[in-house]
Structure 1
Amino acid sequence: MLDLTKLAQQMQGISQQLTLEATATRQRLDRAQLLMAQANERQADLVQMQELWRDRLNFTAAMPLESLDTRIEIAAPPAAHTVIATDGSQIAPSHHEIAYCYLINVGRIILHYGQSKLPLLDSLPEVFYRPEDLYVSRQWGIRTEEWMGYQRTALEAQILAELAQALTDEMEAPTLALTDGSLIYWFLEQLPAEARDRILAPILAAWDQLRAISVPLVGYISASRSGEALNFLRLQSCPYLAPDCMTHCSEVVDRAPCQVLDPLKDAALWAIRLEPGQRSPLWKSSARIQEFYGDHAIHFCYVNVGSEIARVEVPAWVAADEDMLQSALSLVLGQVQKGYGYPVALAEAHNQAVVRGGDRARFFALLEQQMIKAGLRNVGTSYKETRKRGSIA
């Protein structure tokens, strides 16, 4: 049990630290504004420098595709439109449960606006229990719990494309495919090639489906912690003629000279540059995992949705079509307004997907019934799990 009396003694120190950090953040923002103005005057040179020295940089900097001082008003969404969304949740495997298996539950949402059509709000569960499902990742040194999360990401993309495909015949209004979180799957960078392909291939196939039916895909990131855009300003603040990090800063112990803005994040800068309803310039991410994305390279911008600065990501084929991009952004902004600060379709997808304590108990109760019906004996949880569920204290 938490001892609030002891905890209260630490509160004063926390508030003092937060005050110091707020002052430092304001100073970094002033510096970032200055660097942004300087970088805007020589943007073409910096982009060329980035392309030339990319392999010698020890940081990931996004590439601006529009002028750095770009601020574009996003139009209101049309009265008639459709939004599709998915989100996933899971029950992790445990050796202390009655059976070693895991469940992935994907919430499915289709919301029609101005079309007199019924919505879809449900979830699609899938249980993984075969040895080839549970232990396939062991050959690459990946724990089953981690592999379950990767599988969930792939399933969310596949089901999203299936929902869009099912609407093809009746698609009369602008349609948006919306997913929660980044479209850049950084975790795949560390995986062996065979493991990476098992996850990424079905995701890219699902994105191909969406492109074929002209449904824009958007990844919505709330409270983004990315610094990709600000990292581009490190090229401006570099004191050397060439940004050769490997040569000039490989032996720097504390921080490199170009890290004057750390730990400032992109969202903090765009919060003081964008008015509600405006978007930042479009950027192309330089994440190395995108080498395997083909023509689905991820582009992004920051949008002031009113309640926060959200990072909005789209594949290259959406960014290349100006009409499709503007339509997608307008539908995203409309979703945030309808959801009082967060896209309503994503919130509903999460609510449909989430597995609560009661759902977990019913899942294992149903599994226990099936195991007993199959003639298995000594079915039950471990003594450790049993004692944790029923404390005598």
Structure 2
Amino acid sequence: MALDFQQIYRKIKEIAAGEGRRQERLADLRRRARDLLREHAHHVDELRRRVALAREYDPGLRCASPVNEPLDTRVPAPASVKEVTLLAVDGSQAAPDRHAALQYALLNVGAIVLRANSNNSPEVRTVSDLLFGEALFFEDAPMGEGLLSLQRDLKERLLLDDWTKDLSTPVIALIDGPIELWGVKGTEDSGAYRKGLQQYLTVLSRLHTRGVILAGYVDKPGADLVVRLLEIAAVDESDLRDVRRQRPLRGVSDRWLFGEPGKPLLKAGERSAVFAMQSKSGTFYEGALSLHFFYLNVGTERHPWLARVEVPHWVAEDGEKLALLHAALLRQCRAMGARPYPYALHRAHEIAVVSYDEKAQVEQMLSIELRRQGVAPDERSYKQEAKERG
């Protein structure tokens, strides 16, 4: 049966009628956020103290914590920096489908290296894996999308580790998304996550030893990490006991705070202060591996575009490494024209993506080989058959 557009249109009218009021309220909150940023810009020590206190009441608190720069810091694009070797990695996956005739999963990781002072074509690598049978289970439970994503992320990091051994410094290694290894919701204490995390921490330690400039690039970020810090600054200290409910700026994003259309706090090419990441999982990343981030306006004066760039402490504390990363990201984004995004990450995605035709070919190859071994694939579900017949 087709979509009932009359019902949907009535809902659209309701949404549009209320959106004006919501935008007025949001404008007030945004003005308040900007005022708080100016008011507390230089209260770095006091803000760190408040974040530490709030963390005692809510260990799961996720927000920014200032390091040593004022909150409204604006660092312009470096005037001139040396060339770097740039490595980017991205991954894709195909999860098991219970309606399909064969139960399997695909993981594919792509990487590209752009070498400094080289006229040679970029080098690419691909790491592909097929999971079948017992490999689709962990701790007697079927592997879901979350655990599969964990394996993909870990393979990305391991490829970075392997390739950076042979690259001349300085090397910038880019990941699409956060550098923090995300666990599966509700299973952060699972054996799979703990094992993967330990492997990743070992990789990070090796990258640190090699002096690799590691960064995670988050395009169009939706987080409110700095806004959350401003909320902690705004409430009475006694109210921090219930910090999880203290959300006076709910709806305001960091992306708006630093990149408001028409009058962005960060001008084109500028980065923000570097902040420490306060999060529950951050307790695993200690010392040189602790997580930090900054915002970067990779857009133009007429069209600001904010990205969040996550870095480990060994990059955050090194001014030269930060400048190299800052400049390289701007060059990479300019290479993509009117829609700024790091060119190397775009290419890594193109290498990693698994097309529908490739997935179908893998399924056909697997089916043929199983039949050769006398193993008959299962049938597709009747639901899937009916959907494909239309």
TM-score range, shorter chain: 0.7 to 0.9
Residue correspondence of structure 1 range 178-257 to structure 2 within 5 A: 178-187=174-183, 190=186, 191-192=188-189, 194-240=191-237, 242-246=238-242, 256=246
Name the TM-score, length of structure 1 as normaliser. 0.87
Alpha-carbon distance in structure 1 between the residues aligned to 2:29 and 2:292: 26
Alpha-carbon distance in structure 2 between the residues aligned to 1:7 and 1:212: 57
Contact 2:64 2:225 in 1 (8 A): yes
Residue correspondence of structure 1 range 123-142 to structure 2 within 5 A: 123-131=126-134, 133-138=135-140
Shift of 1:217: 0.5
Q: Which runs of 5+ in 2 are unaligned?
A: none
Contact 2:53 2:240 in 1 (8 A): no
Alpha-carbon distance in structure 1 between the residues aligned to 2:143 and 2:129: 19
In structure 2, the residue matched to 1:270 is 258
Shift of 1:380: 4.8
1:200-250: CA deviation from partner (whole Å, max 9, x where unpaired): 12222222222222111100001111111111112321134x45324xx78
1:154-203: CA deviation from partner (whole Å, max 9, x where unpaired): 11111122222232xxx26x321000111233436742253322111222
Amino acid at match of 2:298: V
Q: Per the alignment, do residues 284 and 4 of structure 1 end up closer, same or farther by CA in structure 2, a change over 3 Å counting?
A: same
Amino acid at match of 1:279: R
Mean CA deviation greater in 42-51 or 198-207 = 42-51
In structure 2, the residue matched to 1:25 is 26
Q: Secondary structure at the match of 1:369?
A: helix
In structure 1, the residue matched to 2:282 is 290
Contact 2:147 2:184 in 1 (8 A): no
Amino acid at match of 1:128: L
Alpha-carbon distance in structure 1 between the residues aligned to 2:232 and 2:378: 62
Residue correspondence of structure 1 range 357-368 to structure 2 within 5 A: 357-368=356-367
Amino acid at match of 1:38: E
Alpha-carbon distance in structure 2 between the residues aligned to 1:43 and 1:356: 49
In structure 2, the residue matched to 1:162 is 162
Shift of 1:366: 1.0
Shift of 1:331: 0.9
Q: Per the alignment, do residues 331 and 2 of structure 1 end up closer, same or farther by CA in structure 2, a change over 3 Å counting?
A: farther
Contact 2:90 2:175 in 1 (8 A): yes
Q: Which runs of 5+ in 1 are unaligned?
A: none
Q: Secondary structure at the match of 2:331?
A: helix
Shift of 1:43: 3.2
Task: Return the match for 2:89 from 72, 86, 90.
Answer: 86
1:309 correspondence with 2:298:
no
1:262-320: CA deviation from partner (whole Å, max 9, x where unpaired): 12111110113110111111100111111112331110011111151111100111112
Shift of 1:24: 2.5
Contact 1:80 1:115 in 2 (8 A): no
1:122-148: CA deviation from partner (whole Å, max 9, x where unpaired): 5321112251x2212446xx7433211
Amino acid at match of 1:270: F
Q: Per the alignment, do residues 208 and 25 of structure 1 end up closer, same or farther by CA in structure 2, a change over 3 Å counting?
A: same
Q: Secondary structure at the match of 2:165?
A: helix
1:329 correspondence with 2:317:
no
1:65-94: CA deviation from partner (whole Å, max 9, x where unpaired): 111121111226757432211111111112
Q: Secondary structure at the match of 1:166?
A: coil
Amino acid at match of 2:284: F
Mean CA deviation greater in 203-212 or 323-332 = 203-212
1:339-361: CA deviation from partner (whole Å, max 9, x where unpaired): 23111111111121112221111
Contact 2:232 2:240 in 1 (8 A): no
Alpha-carbon distance in structure 2 between the residues aligned to 1:147 and 1:188: 6
Alpha-carbon distance in structure 1 between the residues aligned to 2:383 and 2:54: 56
1:375 correspondence with 2:374:
yes
Alpha-carbon distance in structure 2 between the residues aligned to 1:50 and 1:35: 16
Amino acid at match of 2:268: P
Task: Return the match for 2:249 from 251, 261, 278.
Answer: 261
Contact 2:55 2:61 in 1 (8 A): no
